[in-house]
Structure 1
Amino acid sequence: MNMKNQLKLANRFREVILNGTWIANTNFKDQLENLDYKIATAKFQNLNTISILAQHIHYYIKGITSVLLGGDLEIRDKFSFDFPPVESQQQWDNFLSHFWKDSEEFAKLIETLPDDKLNTDFVEEKYGTYIRNIDGMIEHSYYHLGQIVLIRKMIENQN
């Protein structure tokens, strides 16, 4: 891979979170930016809330960012859905502001990854390579974006 490929990866990540429409015809920012926190936190049957799903993706972005910055992998799957409740529009808007900022930081870190790093082990061999984890983050984000779109439609059609 060359740096051009890091840019492609970073832009694929930006597409799902910040600005793309190519794969899903939407992205996280498009779905969440002007969303009333009452819809974001509304429970639909036994599904996760939109808020929880967005925070779940943010949790992984923050965790992988820590590693890209030279830190340890401190996130754990078992905690990836545990967040305090969002109880106001201000809290929701503050979360989204961090989500967009942290997503852009993550994308910029991908862009600057050295070529030789992409195919090395991400923290430990069992986690696969850096490129596999970045691709996984993108795919994981699309998976939950689809859920968010469907949950939002179900909630909005219920009212």
Structure 2
Amino acid sequence: MKNTHEIARRFREVILNGTWVANTNYKHQLTGLSWELATAKSESLNTIALLVQHIHYYINGIKNVFTGGNLEIRDQYSFDFAPVRSQREWEDFLTGFFNDAEELTSLIEQMPEEKLNAVFVDEKYGTYQRNIDGMIEHSYYHLGQIVLLKKILANRR
């Protein structure tokens, strides 16, 4: 199997359909989740919705580079989102999130193998491989938070 296909599979696992590392994924955790629960606060912790919007922000930023655009994302803006105010908004957001994740997965699969070791935008950001691996690790980090938040919020009800 090509490295790009293996990396794409790992990214798809964490967001869309895997259970190997965490025994769950974003799609499993978020499908059917009400917008009220997704936006519920627990003390000073981020909401589930905010964590998912944060991951989506980075997916879109990386996807933009893969499609020939500039790296326009900035860490300082990675938690600045309008609040979700209805179930319809939440479901529309999730549809876009999952579609964008699938698009990035396809771009990774189609990428020439040698590009994995190429500089990603600027040398200070490392290689394409490093950025994809970082996105996967970052996604798992926040997936763990989402799982814990769901348990905390469920115990409050």
Q: Does 1:73 align with 2:76?
A: no
The count of aligned residue pairs is 157
Structure 1 position 115, deviation (Å): 1.7
Cα offset for 1:21?
A: 0.5
Work out whether residues 71 and 121 of structure 2, in 8 Å CA contact, stay in contact via their aligned partners in 1: yes
Q: TM-score, normalised by structure 2?
A: 0.99
Q: Using the alignment, how far apart are the partners of 1:26 and 1:101 within structure 2?
A: 18
- Counterpart for residue 8 of structure 2: 10
1:23 partner SS = coil
Cα root mean square deviation, aligned: 0.7
User: 3-state DSSP class of the match of 1:29?
Assistant: helix
Tell me the equivalent position of 1:27. 25
In the other structure, the counterpart of 1:141 is 139
The match for 1:45 is: 43
Any stretches of 5+ residues in structure 1 without a counterpart?
none
Secondary structure at the aligned position of 2:73 is classed as coil
**Alignment partner of 2:22: what SS?**
coil
Separation (CA, whole Å) in 2 of partners of 1:32 and 1:116: 35
Superposed displacement of residue 123, structure 1: 0.2
TM-score by length of 1: 0.97
For structure 2, which runs of at least 5 residues remain unmatched after alignment?
A: none
SS at match of 2:119: coil
Alignment partner, residue 125 of structure 2: 127
Percent same amino acid at aligned positions? Answer: 64
